Amino acid sequence: MTIAETQQQIISEFSLFDDWMDKYNYLIEMGREVPRIDERYKTNNHLISGCQSRVWLHADMRDGKIYFTADSDAVITKGIVNLLIRVFSGRMPDEILEADTDFIDQIGLKEHLSPTRSNGLVSMVKQMKLYAQVYKLKQSN
Amino acid sequence: MKPFADNEIAEIRSHFPALHQKVYGKPFVYLDNAATTQKPQAVIDRLVAYYSLENSNIHRGVHYLSQQATQAYEDARQTVADFINASAANQIIFTKGTTESVNLLAGSLRQFYLLEGDAVLITGMEHHSNLVPWQQVCKQNQAELLVAALNDKGETDLDHFAELLDKKPKLAAITHISNALGSVNPVKEMIRMAHEKGVPVLVDGAQAVAHTSIDVQELDCDFFVFSGHKMFGPMGIGVLYAKAFWLQKMPPWQFGGEMVDQVSFEETTFNQLPFKFEAGTPNVAGVLGLKTAIDFLKQYDMEVIAKHENQLMQQALEKLLTIPGMRLIGEAENRAGVISFVVDGTHPSDIGTLVDKMGVAVRTGHHCAQPVMTRFDVPGTVRASFALYNSLADVEGLFQAVKKAVMMLR
C-alpha cells in the first residue's frame, strides 16, 4: 500500500464515525497501541518540544526503509502519532519527503494543525520528514 | 452582601456577545478568563467609534481631532489612576501590558539601581513575565535572584520570604494572585514586611484587577502592574503605576518621539512624567477601551463580584471532587478566580482537547509558570478560571465535560 492509499484507508475509517466522540474514542484506542519506543530513546534528544504534552520520536533505517517508534505522556497525542506512524513508517525516505498531509484535514482533525497545539501534528510531521531527509543524505554518502 | 442573582447574571452576560455563540454546536462555556476575559459591547463599540471618527495622533496636533483624542487619552489616564487610587494621573504609565510594564521597570532599574552584587526577591508562584525579566537582569548585572518557597498548599512561605528579606534584596517582585494556582498572596502584609527592611515592592496585579479592588496607596506598593485585557478591556494595553519618587529617579527605557523635550544631534532632554516613559505613538484606542472597561466594571461592587466568583469556584470544586482521581493543584486558604487540577491516569492536554469538543474552554499546560508545575511535580494542569459573567450553568458544563472526558480516557 502506498502512502496515499494508507491515507485513503484512514479517511474511510474515520468516515464511519458519526460524531466527535467516536472519533476521539478511536484515537484514544490507537493511542494505547502505539509501537512503543525503546526506553533508551526516551531522552531529551528524541523529544519534540512544545508546551502541551511530551512526544518522543525515534527512527531506524532497515533495508532502505525508515521505521518510526514513538511515545507520549498524553494518550490522544499518542493516537495521533500512531496515525502518522501508520502512514509514514516502513517507507523509503523519498516517499516520506514527497507525501502531503491533507488527510488530517479530511478526517476532521484540522484543529490539531493549529499552531497552539505546538506539540501536535505539525511538529511531528516535520520531525518525521527531517528524519527522512537525514537518512536520505546518509544513503547517498 | 449577596452574590449576583440569576437575573443579574443574565443582565451581565447580555453585554458580552462572545458568550452567546455556539462552539461545535454546543453552548459556549468560557472558563479561560485568567488568560483573557471577553469584552463587553461597550468596549468593542469604543474601539470602533475611535477609529471611525476620532482617530488622530495625540499630544502634537493643533487640529480638532488631535485635541479631542489627546483630551480623551488623558481623561482615561485619570480614570485608571482613580481605579487603583493612585494619588496622581502622571503616576500611570501606559504600556502594552503587564509583561511590558515589568520589562520597562526592569530595563530602567538595571541602569542605575539593580547592580552587581544586588539581589531581587520573587516568589515561587510568579508568572514567567514577573520572573524572566528579573532573572535576566540578575544574569546581566551579576545580581542574585532570590525565590521565596511555596508550601504544599501553594501559598508563599512567609517565614522564608522574611528570611530572604534579611538578605537585603533591592526589590521584591510578587504576584498578587497566582495565575496557575489561584493563591492570593497577602500582599499588604508582604509589603509591610519588605518596607520594614527598606525593600521596595512591585506587585503583579494581572490576575487581581478583575477580582478584587485595588488601592495602591493603602497597599503602599512602590510599583503595580496590570493588563487591560484581563479586565474586560482590549488587548495590547497595560499599566505601570509607580510612586512619584521612583518615576522621577528612573531613566527612560525606550527612546523615540513623544518622550523627548529638546533634541539635537549631540544631546536630548527628556519629557516630563508620564511621557518620558511613553515613547512613540501610543495605543490610543486601547487606552480609551480600557477606560470604557473600567467604567463598565465600576457599575458592579467588587465585593459582590468576588463573592459570586468564590461561590462558583466552591460549587465547581464540590462537583469536580466527586470525580475519582481528581487532584487539586493549589489549595491555598485564600484563593481567587482559578481552579487548577489534574486527574490521575489522564494527561491535562487530553482533558483539554476533549472538553473543548464539548464547548468548554479551559486552559491546559503550564500556564507560563513552569517552576510552579515543577514544584508540584505535574506536567501541567487543567485550569478553569472565572469572571463575573460566569454562571452556575458554566460550572455544570465544566463538570459534565470533565466527567465525560475522564470516562473516555480511562
Could you tell me if residue B66 is inside a domain? yes
Mean pLDDT of B337-344: 96
Structural domain boundaries, residue B233: 44-298
Q: Are residues B348 and B207 in the same domain?
A: no
Residue B371: which CATH number?
Answer: 3.90.1150.10
> Final residue of a domain: which of B281, B298, B315?
B298
Q: Which residue of B has its CA nearest to A120?
A: B349
Give residue A116's pLDDT: 59
Mean pLDDT of A44-63: 84
> Final residue of a domain: which of B298, B329, B349?
B298
Q: How many domains does chain B have?
A: 2
Give residue A51's pLDDT: 46
Give residue B3's pLDDT: 86
Give residue A122's pLDDT: 79
Q: Are residues B116 and B235 in the same domain?
A: yes
Q: pLDDT tens for residues A7-19?
A: 999 999 999 988 8
Q: pLDDT tens for residues B204-250?
A: 999 999 999 999 999 999 999 999 999 999 999 999 999 999 999 99
Give residue B71's pLDDT: 95
Q: Are residues B254 and B143 in the same domain?
A: yes
Q: Name the grid cell of B190.
A: 508582604
pLDDT at A34 over 80: no
Q: Confirm or reject contact between B410 and chain A (CB < 8 A).
A: no
Q: Are residues B355 and B247 in the same domain?
A: no
Rounded to the nearest angstrom, the minimum Cα separation between A139 and chain B is 38
Q: Confirm or reject contact between B350 and chain A (CB < 8 A).
A: yes
Q: Is B213 exposed, middle or buried (0-12, 13-18, 19+ CB in 10 A)?
A: middle
Mean pLDDT of A76-98: 93
Closest CA to B213 of B306, B77, B296, B289: B306
Q: Are residues B279 and B323 in the same domain?
A: no
For chain B, the average pLDDT equals: 96
Q: Strand, helix or coil at B173?
A: strand
CATH 3.90.1010.10 for domain A3-140, yes or no, is yes
Residue where the block lists cell 494543525: A113
Q: pLDDT tens for residues B43-81?
A: 999 999 999 999 999 987 789 999 999 999 999 999 999
pLDDT at B321 over 90: yes
Q: pLDDT tens for residues B267-291?
A: 999 999 999 999 999 999 999 999 9
Could you tell me if residue B130 is inside a domain? yes
Predicted confidence band of residue B365 (pLDDT cuts 50, 70, 90): confident
Q: Are residues B230 and B241 in the same domain?
A: yes
Catalytic residue (one of B42, B368, B378, B409): B368
Q: Are residues B293 and B305 in the same domain?
A: no
Q: What percent of chain B has pLDDT over 90?
A: 93
Could you tell me if residue B375 is inside a domain? yes
pLDDT at B146 over 60: yes
3-state secondary structure chain A: CCHHHHHHHHHHHHHCCCCHHHHHHHHHHHHCCCCECCHHHCCHHHEECCCCCCEEEEEEEECCEEEEEEEECCHHHHHHHHHHHHHHCCECHHHHHHCCCHHHHHCCCHHHHCCCCCCCHHHHHHHHHHHHHHHHHHHHC
Q: Are residues B312 and B177 in the same domain?
A: no
* Residues of A known to be catalytic: 51
| C-alpha neighbours within 13 Å on the C-beta side of residue B148 | 29
Give residue A112's pLDDT: 67
Could you tell me if residue B379 is inside a domain? yes
- Number of CB pairs, chain A paired with chain B, less than 8 A apart: 43
**Integer Cα distance of B208 and B83 in angstroms:** 13
Q: Which of A51-60, B119-128, B296-305 is the least confident region?
A: A51-60
- ipTM summary value: 0.86
pLDDT at A115 over 70: no
Residue B184 DSSP one-character state: B
CB–CB of B379 and A53 under 8 A?
A: yes
> Final residue of a domain: which of B273, B298, B323?
B298
Q: Are residues B285 and B327 in the same domain?
A: no
pLDDT at A27 over 70: yes
Q: Which residue of B has its CA nearest to A54?
A: B379
Mean pLDDT of B359-364: 96
Domain boundaries, chain A: 3-140
Higher pLDDT, A52 or B60: B60
Predicted confidence band of residue B149 (pLDDT cuts 50, 70, 90): very high
Higher pLDDT, B1 or B201: B201
**Integer Cα distance of B162 and B167 in angstroms:** 9
Q: Are residues B262 and B308 in the same domain?
A: no
Q: Confirm or reject contact between B24 and chain A (CB < 8 A).
A: yes
Q: Are residues B240 and B363 in the same domain?
A: no
Instruction: Determine which of A75, A81, A118, A123 to mutate to test the interface with B (most B C-beta atoms within 10 Å).
Output: A75
| Option in B356, B366, B408 nearest A51 (CB) | B366
Q: Are residues B21 and B69 in the same domain?
A: no
Q: Confirm or reject contact between B380 and chain A (CB < 8 A).
A: yes
CB–CB of A24 and B366 under 8 A?
A: no
Residue B213: which CATH number?
Answer: 3.40.640.10
